[in-house]
Copies of this chain bind each other. A is one copy, B any other.
Amino acid sequence: MREVLAQAAFQLFLERGFERTTVDDIVARAGVGRRSFFRYFPSKEDAVFPDHERCLAEMTEFLAAADDDDPVGAVSDAARIVLRMYAANPEFSVQRYRLTREVPGLRTYELSVVRRYEQTLAGHLRSRLGEGGDGALRAEVIAASVVAAHNNGLRLWLRSGGEGDPEVAVDHALALVREVWGRPAASAASTAPAAPAVSEASAVPFAVSGGGDGDGEVVVMVARKGTPMWRVVQQIEAAVGEN
């Protein structure tokens, strides 16, 4: 039943477009009652991505069983699970890609799906990199990098019409990420310079209000380089500010 609905929906979306297809159209073609549609798909958009829920579960399961000593490799492999789901049905994936490109609502929905993958990856990385210090930060940045790399390779393949093997492009993209992030299993101590520490010496900045005739439009601010920021702001506010 779920399958019947998904297929009827997808056919109609390709024929008339997503927005000009109503749920009534879908259930009419599928020959079922309107209420049944919402029993199987919480929203119209869900019918376009009927397999992501299962894929997400698969990814979670994979990561739970993953080895501990190469978290970046693990999340890269986890991303490949998604890729393989797309590669399993090239023509469907390509058609869906084209559909999704054209319909803002579907793009947004897809974003929320991608976000869930990303959070799953980030959660795994966080647990392996440690919460403290920059662990959470690194986890999120690496997860975002992996997802971006994966999506770049995937889109390349989708735009090409689904010809050939998408794994090569994605492997290449993921290799770039791995090259950059290495294997940060133990090297969580590489610290960045502590504080930006804006400025040092000061010379008095001075501000000149532009036109003298009431509706001056321009403020010219002149200051030495290295002037403390608060000092600059103070001067600017005095000149620009009434608001």
Contacts and interface: CB of A to CB of B under 8 A. Distances in A.
A222 B225 contact: no
A87 interface: no
Contacts of A195: 168, 171
Contact of A148 (B140, B209, B215, B221): B140
Contact of A115 (B111, B226, B242): B111
A239 B201 CA distance: 16
A142 to B, nearest CB: 9
Interface string A147-187: 11101110000000000000110011101110111000000
Interface in A52-76: none
A138 interface: yes
A108 B42 CA distance: 15
B218 A222 contact: yes
Nearest to A197: B242
A179 B190 CA distance: 9
A233 B152 CA distance: 27
Interface in A206-228: 209-211, 215-227
Contacts of A115: 111
Given A137-B152, A196-B241, A233-B236, 18 more contacts: A107-B112, A108-B111, A134-B176, A141-B145, A144-B144, A167-B196, A175-B196, A180-B188, A196-B243, A198-B242, A198-B243, A199-B242, A210-B225, A217-B224, A217-B225, A220-B220, A221-B223, A229-B237
